Amino acid sequence: MSVSLGNEIPAAKSDSPVAVVPCAAEVYGRFSELIALAKERFDGELGGKLLLYGQLDAYGAAVALAANIAGAATLGIDADSERLRQGIRHGFCDFVVNHLDEAVRILKNEVRKKQPVSVCLEGDLAAALAEAVERGLQPDLLAFVEQSDAAETLIGRGAIPLGRDSDPEMQSEEVTWSAETASALWLPKVDALAAQVVPAGDERSRWLKLAPRYLGRAMAGRHYLQMSAEEADRLEKLVSEATASGAIAARITIERRQVQPFPPPR
């Protein structure tokens, strides 16, 4: 459920920047990066971990979505009220707050329960970072395009920056599937077949289960996963068998292409 806390956010100005909805491929790239870090540093578990990022731009939104799918809690900081309003609307953040105390209260509760939650603080990034450092708020992960003295202090205290220490495990093909009719009915059935293809315990099963809910409209008509060529072949065979038997009563289109380079933050 999306909720706004604190003082009412004022009406947006017409020249305010708008939130950019990241594509599934970009969110998946950040998800892979986080899973790699989890395996390297946190015994494969991001539940109970806090990721701090900056503005709710395309990069910030992709990081927030990927972190929540991976199981982490997130805190973003953005001074633009309209972008935050759109972040609530698009599901990039669960709460928008006006004070760091409110953000910490929500995050402590969810981190303790090892539940993902996305909180956005409306305020100046530099000032909020300085306050976080002064008050001893210590994230486990940092995702900033530009570094600052405050960010470097947090890194010195143990925060792990994205993009420096992780080596995402990328599969050979990007595979998408869509249904000619009734996508909401048939795409989850293809997802279930894809889950049969990936190895037991593979974090891609988590993506298949949670990504459609977190990405909403971005994945309403086309689902996405990275797979090996052999896995993609098996998925095509299973889908063909399911449509032939009538278990899936819609034409399913599966598209495959080689994995594109991992996009840098922008």
Number of structural domains in the chain: 2
Q: Is residue 166 assigned to a domain?
A: no
Of 5, 253, 198, 8, residue with least CA distance to 107 = 5
32-48, pLDDT tens digit by residue? 999 999 999 999 999 99
In a domain, 79, yes or no: yes
Start-to-end C-alpha separation, the chain: 29
Instruction: Establish if 263 belongs to a structural domain.
Output: no
- Considering 161, 183, 204, which residue would you say is the last residue of a domain? 161
Measured between alpha carbons, how far is 204 from 225 in angstroms, rounded to an integer? Answer: 8
Whether residues 121 and 196 fall in one domain:
no
Cα gap 32→47, rounded to integer Å: 16
Is the same domain home to 65 and 195? Answer: no
We report the CATH number of the domain holding residue 206 as 3.30.1390
Tokens of 92: 């990039």
| pLDDT of res. 171 | 77
State pLDDT tens for residues 81-105: 999 999 998 889 999 999 999 999 9
* pLDDT for position 1: 29
The reply to whether 115 and 192 lie within a common domain is no
| 94 within 8 A of 74, measured Cβ to Cβ | no
Of 50, 67, 147, nearest to 104 by C-alpha is 50
Structure confidence at residue 266 (pLDDT): 59
Alpha carbon 140 to chain centroid, angstroms: 16
Q: Report pTM.
A: 0.86
Within a domain: 14: yes
**Domain limits for position 215:** 173-258
Q: Which CATH number fits the domain that encloses residue 152?
A: 3.40.50.10730
Q: What's residue 249's pLDDT?
A: 97
- For residues 222 and 126, state if they share a domain: no
Identify the segments of the chain with pLDDT beneath 70.
1-20, 164-167, 262-266
Same domain? For 49 and 8 the reply is yes
pLDDT score, position 146: 73
* Per-residue pLDDT, 262: 64
